[in-house]
Amino acid sequence: MSVRDGLVFLSDTRTNAGVDHVSTFRKMTVFEQPGERVLVVLAAGNLALTQSVIQLLTEPAGAGQQTMWTAPNVYEAARVIGEAVREVHKLHSHALQDFGVEFNCSFLLGGQIHGQAMRLFQIYAAGNFIEASTINPYFQIGEAKYGKPIIDRVLTPDTPLAEAEKCALISMDSTLRSNVSVGLPLDLLVYERDSLRVTRFTQLDNDNAYFQMIHNTWGARLRQVFAEIPEPDWSPVGALPATARRPAMPPRATLPPGFDGAAPTADAPLQILAQEP
Amino acid sequence: MSVRDGLVFLSDTRTNAGVDHVSTFRKMTVFEQPGERVLVVLAAGNLALTQSVIQLLTEPAGAGQQTMWTAPNVYEAARVIGEAVREVHKLHSHALQDFGVEFNCSFLLGGQIHGQAMRLFQIYAAGNFIEASTINPYFQIGEAKYGKPIIDRVLTPDTPLAEAEKCALISMDSTLRSNVSVGLPLDLLVYERDSLRVTRFTQLDNDNAYFQMIHNTWGARLRQVFAEIPEPDWSPVGALPATARRPAMPPRATLPPGFDGAAPTADAPLQILAQEP
């Protein structure tokens, strides 16, 4: 997440190669030169591929080539990662294809270099990349969908940094609840704008009191809000709250003229097949 | 959703074949013989495939073959749908393969036949199928992930029917918010156990007051609950609420001994690369 006051990075540590091979691996790597640059890389996808990419990033580059340490700006650092992805593609994609395994990896890169603005990028498996903006101030990779709705509802570029952290943790809690391929512990790194060093990093596990509080409180309060919202009322005369009225029932005597796939309108009856053809 | 008092079916109407081809189609079909059977079919996937399957279901079957009207129980009706899927696979899968299009369709079937229990099935593209249970009392097909967390948090087989309806609508509202491939209007059918007829069906659009209320109230209350949960506190001495404490920072002077992919433990430092290799 990229907000006015900083960047929030959150990753889980669950990997799997089928349910027989569930393991715990870090998905966050930090390139820090205090006072000069902080670049944080998150990885998702095939672990063998993402590890190869990270390995390339930590090795000295060839003469004249940029590295994460020499890239003059975050955009160039994203390009360095994109090139590493393409290098790994060259090494492994054909062999993977022989086994019907998709070349599947993606990365997030965020950070700041001295004298420049914070930036946040998402790098695709093809090595191309996009940047976050004030309209889309966050990226997710991996199991993204479960946790997206709460972020969409609360995150804006003006969200205070601590609220963004809370939002990220609530989002991850929803994902943990609904998908076993995501698991504790979590790595949380919060970058404070213009600090140019890692000031806030922690690993969160079941025994972390704050995450436990989020986990318990959010679920309980959600159920409470759910209980407070009135149920739909199907009585013919709509009582308050305004009801989901029962419409006139479609004709039942005859079979409608085939399934024609016509767009439903307010009047179009549901296709109810009331008699055996 | 399958709860003690009935079944809840909810489908959107958005289809797309790329963003240039977004259309509105019904995804719900009902086979009703009042007093004898109600069978509701929901479809997801390639529209040409799902329409072909529904077409087969509405046509008279060959001699000796079961149909949705003659299946002696809901399990047999699921088998009928599975056979129709396999028939359509025979007709179209090779041609689709030539164009690199996946054979992608899935169905939900729920209902009741006189003298028997309500049942709910999910039918896969291969024509095989599974049944819902008290441990897993609901199925989703299509864009399932966004709306799953709220269902996981509130739905049990003992949830009252009206609450299950509310839950389905809130779940769909989250999906609508996060994914443009899902769109209004919605078809909502609520089957009351042992009624053996369609008593509650409605189409919900933006102008439906109940759905509007859900849409506005849920989002607002969620943001309120979010605001009420305390933010994490990074101060060294943990104040209440219990804080996500900043751990001892990993060593910075030297490069850690390569990216070894070791499982993180409570002590294992995050890989922070503090110096250029």
Single out the residue of A129, A7, A117 nearest to residue A78, CA to CA.
A129
Q: What pLDDT sits at residue A106?
A: 96
- In whole angstroms, give the CA distance from residue A103 to residue A91: 11
- In whole angstroms, give the CA distance from residue A138 to residue A152: 9
Q: Domain B2-223 falls in which CATH fold?
A: Glutamine Phosphoribosylpyrophosphate, subunit 1, domain 1 (3.60.20)
- Determine the Cα angle at A62 with ends A60 and A64, to 5°: 115
Write the single-letter amino acid at A11: S
Partner-chain contact B234 A200, CB within 8 Å: yes
Partner-chain contact B226 A150, CB within 8 Å: yes
Q: What distance lies between CA A30 and its chain's CA centroid?
A: 19
Q: What pLDDT sits at residue B63?
A: 81
Sorted by where each begins, the domain ranges of chain B are: 2-223
- In whole angstroms, give the CA distance from residue B195 to residue B29: 18
Taking CA–CA distances from B29, the nearest residue in chain A reads A271
Per-residue pLDDT tens digits for B9-52: 999 988 777 767 777 788 999 999 999 999 999 999 998 999 99
Per-residue pLDDT tens digits for B51-65: 999 999 988 778 888
pLDDT score of B180 more than 80:
no
Residue B225 backbone zone (phi > 0: left; psi -120 to 50: alpha; other: beta): alpha
Cβ contact B94:B88 at 8 Å: no
How near does any CA of chain B get to the CA of A227, in Å?
8
Interface test with chain B among A15, A23, A140, A178, by most B beta carbons within 10 Å? A178
Q: What pLDDT sits at residue A44?
A: 94
Q: What pLDDT sits at residue B19?
A: 67
Q: Does A273 touch chain B (CB under 8 A)?
A: yes
Residues 22-41 on A with a CB inside 8 Å of B are 23-26, 28-34
Low-confidence ranges of chain A (pLDDT < 70): 19, 236-277
DSSP single-letter state for residue A18: S
Interface test with chain B among A46, A102, A198, A228, by most B beta carbons within 10 Å? A198
A218 contacts in chain B (CB < 8 Å) = 225, 229
What is the DSSP secondary-structure string of A76-139? HHHHHHHHHHHHHHHHHHHHHHHTT----EEEEEEEEETTS--EEEEE-TTS-EEE--SSS---
- In whole angstroms, give the CA distance from residue B3 to residue B110: 12
Q: Which of A4-13, A208-217, B126-135, B241-250 has the lowest mean pLDDT?
A: B241-250
Write the single-letter amino acid at B139: F
Q: What pLDDT sits at residue A244?
A: 39
* Mean pLDDT of the residues in chain B: 83
Residues 191-250 on B with a CB inside 8 Å of A are 198-205, 208-214, 217-219, 221-223, 225-226, 228-234, 241-247, 249
Q: What pLDDT sits at residue B177?
A: 83
Per-residue pLDDT tens digits for A161-185: 999 999 999 999 988 888 777 888 8
Q: Is B19 exposed, middle or buried (0-12, 13-18, 19+ CB in 10 A)?
A: exposed
Partner-chain contact B225 A218, CB within 8 Å: yes
Q: What pLDDT sits at residue B183?
A: 83
**Which two structure tokens, joined as six digits, stand for A249?**
């029932």
Maximum Cα–Cα distance across chain A? 81
Per-residue pLDDT tens digits for B151-178: 999 999 999 999 999 999 999 998 888 8
The residue ranking higher by pLDDT, B242 or B76, is B76
Per-residue pLDDT tens digits for B183-234: 888 999 999 999 999 999 988 888 888 899 988 999 899 899 999 999 988 8
Cβ contact A45:A74 at 8 Å: no
Q: What pLDDT sits at residue A154?
A: 93
Buried-exposed string B90-105: b where 16+ CB fall within 10 A, e elsewhere: eebbeebeeeeeebeb
Q: Does A9 touch chain B (CB under 8 A)?
A: no
- Determine the Cα angle at B180 with ends B177 and B181, to 5°: 125
Per-residue pLDDT tens digits for B219-230: 899 899 999 999
Q: Does A257 touch chain B (CB under 8 A)?
A: no
